[in-house]
């Protein structure tokens, strides 16, 4: 696997998000590309040597954690990890992004308010 292949795969995913959710605002923060909606975080991406990460807030990741792992990807406490040699599950990514859009439509802060 080359760095060029890894870059191309991430660019493909970023382009897919842009095309699938044209109302999202692309943004670069905390050294990673991310997308927001009305100023609220929706999804972010970062790279590691064996995989790239899809950052979702914990509530969203927990909602889809079992499906992500059944599909063959790995989750940490806060990240969905996709190995570069594994196909991206765009159907599941679409569901996770749509979940954030739906559940955060009335949230006016970048992150969800903390619940106790």
The pLDDT tens digits of the residues spanning 64-94 come to 999 999 999 999 999 999 998 889 999 999 9
Which domains are present in the chain? 3-103 (3.90.1150.200)
Instruction: Please name the residue that has the structure tokens 């970023």.
Output: 14
Distances (CA, A) of 113 to 43, 57, 74, 86, 96: 16, 11, 26, 34, 19
Written as six digits, the tokens of 96 are 């996770």
CB 78 within 8 A of CB 58: yes
- The pTM (predicted TM-score) of the whole model is 0.92
Q: What integer pLDDT is reported at residue 1 of this predicted model?
A: 43
């Amino acid at each position: 696997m080359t760095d060029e292949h890894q870059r191309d795969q991430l660019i493909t995913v970023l382009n897919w998000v842009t095309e699938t959710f044209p109302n999202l605002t692309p943004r670069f923060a905390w050294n990673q590309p991310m997308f927001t909606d009305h100023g609220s975080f929706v999804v972010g991406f970062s790279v590691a040597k064996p995989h790239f990460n899809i950052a979702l807030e914990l509530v969203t990741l927990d909602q889809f954690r079992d499906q992500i792992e059944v599909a063959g990807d790995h989750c940490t406490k806060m990240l969905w990890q996709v190995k570069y040699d594994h196909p991206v599950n765009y159907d599941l990514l679409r569901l996770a992004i749509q979940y954030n859009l739906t559940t955060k439509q009335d949230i006016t802060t970048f992150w969800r308010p903390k619940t106790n």
